[in-house]
Amino acid sequence: MALPTEPGSVQEPFPISRVTDRYLIFDVNAIMHARSSHNITGVLTGTIPNLSQQNAFLGIPLQLMPEEARVLVEKGAAYIVDDVNIHDEGFMHMDREARLKFLQEMDEAAWQKSREAQRKAEERTKKALEQKGLEKKSETPESAGLTSDTGAANLFDSPCTPAPPLSRPEKKVDPHFITPTTSYPPLAQPPQTAQPLPVVPRQYPLFRYLHSKGYFMMPGLRFGCHYSAYPGDPLRFHSHFLATGMDWDEEFDWQQIIAGGRLGTRVKKAYLIGGEDPAKKGVEGKESVRVFSIEWAGM
């Protein structure tokens, strides 16, 4: 199997797979690159088939919010791929030679993985037997307290042959195929084609604004807002803002502001609201988004 690219060597733009209007990244290196270089965290959604109800330690693919996918496309860091069409066209038009080569690589990778697992199992078995005293290291006559004279007086004329160490018998490993995390290879890197931009909610201007200021953005549903804004990687920092996006002329209830301010202050964050001025949208040199933060005094 072809080795993946080294971390940090992802070439931009990298593909984002669109599957039933969900935006997914399957390449581990692309996930690392998006997080370290573009402040994109997403949510890991992969699970183990026989533990489908687990809700911790999930794996790839990484699902992006539409806002995250769009900001990457607008920055020129990624492009959208219609995953279903790419797979249908790629596998239907794959020639026999390429298909056999890929199957051979998969078979070889499976053999190597099985042999490594068998070797580790044998080492664990041997170590367990040694701890129980069932298998001892070979001793020399000197270490056993015997000399050549005492050895000659042994009841047995011929030296005894030590029993072979206990170990698992060599068993044939049947070849089996594993499912790779990406389709490249065997398919070639998908080309950049004209794909519609991800459809984003009305609070996207606030997301884009905070993201441009270096914040990491995560869903804020558990705090009753649109986004939780982190000053750095969420693995290292607590969020600073509970951000809610609004339209420029949208009317809102003061009780909403009071509730958001009290909740944000209670959890040691500031409640933030913001919107985009249509008159300044797209005007070069002018920031079209304005934000306000609210904290509750005396708490």
pLDDT tier, 145 (very low <50, low <70, confident <90, very high otherwise): low
pLDDT at 152: 47
Q: Does the annotation count 38 as an active-site position?
A: no
Residue 212 falls within a domain, yes or no? yes
Question: Is 253 part of any domain?
Answer: yes
Domain count, the chain: 3
Looking at the fold, whether 152 and 298 belong to one and the same domain comes out as no
Q: How much of the chain exceeds pLDDT 90, in percent?
A: 35
pLDDT tier at 211 (50, 70, 90 boundaries)? very high
Instruction: State yes or no: pLDDT of 58 exceeds 90.
Output: no
| Residue 179 pLDDT level (bands cut at 50, 70, 90) | low
Active-site residue 230, yes or no?
Answer: yes
The DSSP code for 290 is E
> Does residue 192 sit in the same domain as residue 89?
yes
Question: Is 239 inside any structural domain?
Answer: yes
Q: Which two tokens stand for residue 5?
A: 């690219």
What residues contact residue 146 under an 8 Å CB cut-off, 6+ apart?
Answer: none
Please say if the pLDDT value at position 182 is more than 70: no
- Segment 146-170 shows an average pLDDT of 50
The pLDDT, as a whole number, for residue 4 is 42
Residues 6+ apart with CB under 8 A from 22: 63
> Catalytic: which of 238, 268, 280, 286?
238
**Selected residue with higher pLDDT from 257 and 2:** 257
Instruction: Kindly state whether residues 162 and 283 are assigned to the same domain.
Output: no
Instruction: Give yes or no: residues 222 and 76 share one domain.
Output: no
Kindly state whether residue 3 falls inside one of the protein's structural domains.
no
Residues 229 and 273: beta-carbon distance below 8 Å: no
pLDDT of residue 178: 57
Average pLDDT for the chain = 79
Task: Collapse the DSSP code of 227 into the 3-class scheme (helix H, G, I; strand E, B; otherwise coil) and give the result.
Answer: strand
Say if residue 2's pLDDT is above 50: no
Looking at 183, 215, 242, the residue that finishes a domain is 183
Q: Which of 211, 226, 240, 269 is catalytic?
A: 269
The answer to whether residue 171 is catalytic is no
- 109 and 151 belong to one structural domain: yes
Question: Does 151 share its domain with 167?
Answer: yes
- Cα dihedral sign, 154-155-157-159: negative
In a domain, 40, yes or no: yes
- Catalytic residue of the set 230, 271, 280, 286: 230
Q: Quick one: 210 and 162 in the same domain?
A: no
Round to whole Å and give the CA distance between 218 and 64. 10
CATH number for the domain that contains residue 43: 3.40.1170.20
Does 299 lie in the same domain as 206? yes
Where a domain ends, among 171, 199, 227?
A: 199
At residue 149 the predicted structure's pLDDT band, cuts being 50, 70 and 90, is low
Better pLDDT: 299 or 236: 236
Q: From CA 14, how far away is CA 182, in angstroms rounded? A: 13
Q: 232-291, pLDDT tens digit by residue? A: 999 999 999 999 999 998 888 888 888 888 888 888 899 999 999 988 887 777 889 999
Give the tens place of pLDDT for each residue, 118-144. Answer: 888 888 888 888 887 765 554 555 555
Asked if the structure places residue 108 within a domain, the reply is: yes
Handedness of CA 194, 199, 202, 203 (dihedral sign): negative
Q: What is the pTM of this model?
A: 0.68
Domain boundary among 155, 174, 199: 199
Tell me whether residue 4 is in a domain: no
Q: In terms of domains, do 48 and 193 share one?
A: yes
d(Cα 80, Cα 74) in Å, to the nearest integer?
11
Supply the range of the domain harboring residue 159.
96-183
211 and 135 part of one domain: no
3-class secondary structure per residue, 18-73:
EECCEEEECCHHHHHHHHHHHCCCCEEEECCHHHCCCCCCCEEEEEECHHHHHHHH
Give the pLDDT confidence score for residue 272 in this predicted structure: 93
Q: Is the pLDDT of residue 156 over 50?
A: no
Q: How many whole angstroms separate alpha carbon 37 and alpha carbon 231?
A: 14
Residue 1 lies in a domain: no
> What percent of the chain lies above the pLDDT cut of 70?
74
CA pseudo-torsion sign 140, 142, 144, 147: positive
At 97 the pLDDT is 77
Answer with the residue of higher pLDDT: 228 or 47: 228
CATH number at residue 235: 3.40.1350.10
Residues 105 and 137 in one domain: yes
Looking at the structure, tell me whether residues 238 and 194 fall in a common domain: no
Q: Residue 104's pLDDT is what? A: 74
d(CA 254, CA 261): 11
